[in-house]
Amino acid sequence: MKQFQGRIVTPGTAKAKAVVTHEGFNTLASLQKALQFGDKTASCNDQNNQELYGKPTAGYALCLPQTIGSTTGGLVLYCACAMHRQPACMLFSNHIDSLAAAGAILADVWLDDISMPVVDCLGDEFLDYVRDDMMITIDENGLVTVE
């Protein structure tokens, strides 16, 4: 077990299994199938991300360095939340990018029945340590515990 202190972007607590990428997460390429064709597991559809391709993201602790891709990224993330296909939480090793922040914050503010805590600035050590299917717990102070 190891703990990492991050910065809270959107508040909340969560407990979920990890799904991990060391590459940028292309929000549109990854979640398009979930939004367009009703994939409730939100399996990653980005063939360029070999670590995540085909793996479910809905309900998982998505551990990543950053998001990448087009300017639709924030809206795609917001829509995934509105459709209940969002990760349980998003944990960024780096500072969150503005598009992911916009989508997460809009979902937090505009959607009453959605919780997707987001914590950033967890550091490279976090991403080096965490592996798929490890249990992640986030407390209300942005403390991330990896078991």
Q: Cα(116)–Cα(121) distance, rounded to whole angstroms?
A: 17
pLDDT of 49 over the 90 cut: yes
With contact defined as beta carbons under 8 Å apart, do 20 and 63 qualify? yes
Q: What is the CATH number of the domain that holds 14?
A: 3.50.30.10
User: In which domain, by residue range, is 56 found?
Assistant: 2-146
Query: Amino acid identity, residue 107?
Result: A
| pLDDT at position 70 | 87
- Of 72, 73, 81, 76, nearest in space to 107 by CA: 81
Give the count of domains, the chain.
Answer: 1
Structure tokens at 90: 């998003």
What rounded mean pLDDT belongs to the chain? 97
Burial 117-136 (b: 16+ CB within 10 A, else e): bbbbbbeeebbeebeeebeb
54-108 pLDDT, tens digit per residue, is 999 999 999 999 999 989 999 999 999 999 999 999 999 999 999 999 999 999 9
Task: Tell me the average pLDDT across 113-121.
Answer: 96
Please give the share of the chain, as a percent, with pLDDT higher than 70: 100
pLDDT at 128: 98
